[in-house]
Amino acid sequence: MTSCGKDWAVGLIAAIKDSKNHVISSDIAVVIPDKYPKAKHHYLVLPKGDIPDIFHLKLSNLPMLQELYLLAQNVIEVKRCHMDDFQIGFHAQPSMQRLHLHVISKDFVSDCLKTKKHWASFNTELFLPYQDAYARLEMEGCIKPLAKERVQELGGSELICNQCEFVAKNMPDLKRHLYDHWMEKQ
Ligand code: AMP
Ligand code: ZN
């Protein structure tokens, strides 16, 4: 039992203990595939050290963050993909323990992408790009959570395509549209 009483919330800690899950690793961090990928490529970069989330980061963690980003770039290379096709960042309101950097392709074509909340978590202020997180930590010495009301508001945002001006009526509509973008590129 964890301090917050949610066993599922420590699933990532269990996942990184099994080296079979490691796509790549270094002395201080590992990359694993996201178990419920929200796009064609979706990886998580986690430090081996016990840092629960972005809200526990301190100035002294800046070099560790750089290492996470280096591994994020490495996994994109290893998968023979291009940086421009990816977004790299943290969820501003994470649900799982152990700090994790998302490395996700921008197609968002996946059966696991189901809810408006999923979409918003990568395509609104709920997604904190690595560079912004780094800059905020460097300037302010910590990263603070968004207000609860703001998180709720963002979770219900309009479904605006990340590749054009299209506004979808609902998730099935958005998913069809994203699939068409992806097909055009094949
Ligand atoms: P969040 O805490 O919101 O940044 O997201 C946690 C991420 O972990 C989600 O993208 C999940 O799909 C992913 N996930 C949940 N359980 C596991 C697991 N056991 N192994 C790998 N990824 C997981
Ligand atoms: Zn579009």
pLDDT digits (tens, 9 = 90+) for 92-110: 999 999 999 999 999 999 9
The verdict on residue 15 lying in a domain is: yes
Q: How many domains does the chain have?
A: 1
100 among known catalytic residues: yes
The verdict on residue 166 lying in a domain is: no
Query: Amino acid letter at 115?
Result: T
**What CATH number did the domain enclosing 122 receive?**
3.30.428.10
Residue-wise pLDDT tens digits, 7-22: 888 899 999 999 999 9
The verdict on residue 182 lying in a domain is: no
Give the 3-state secondary structure of residue 12.
helix
Whether the CB of 94 sits within 6 Å of ligand 1? yes
Whether the CB of 91 sits within 6 Å of ligand 1? yes
The verdict on residue 92 lying in a domain is: yes
Residue nearest to atom 12 of ligand 1 (CA): 36
The verdict on residue 179 lying in a domain is: no
The verdict on residue 11 lying in a domain is: yes
Give the 3-state secondary structure of residue 4.
coil
Task: Indicate whether 24 pLDDT > 50.
Answer: yes
The verdict on residue 180 lying in a domain is: no
Whether the CB of 55 sits within 6 Å of ligand 1? no
Q: Which domain, by its residues, includes 55? A: 6-157
Give the rounded percent of residues in the chain with a pLDDT score beyond 70. Answer: 97
Residue nearest to atom 17 of ligand 1 (CA): 35
Q: How many angstroms separate the CA atoms of 171 and 161, rounded? A: 11
Please give the DSSP secondary-structure letter assigned to residue 146.
P
Residue-wise pLDDT tens digits, 27-78: 999 999 999 999 999 999 999 999 999 999 999 999 999 999 999 999 999 9
Ligand closest to the CA atom of residue 104: 1
- Cβ partners under 8 Å of residue 182, min gap 6: 40, 107, 109
pLDDT band at 112 (very low <50, low <70, confident <90, very high): very high
The verdict on residue 162 lying in a domain is: no
CA of 2 to the centre of ligand 1 (A): 17
Q: How many angstroms separate the CA atoms of 27 and 100, rounded? A: 16
Helices then strands, counting H and E runs in the chain, come out as 6, 8
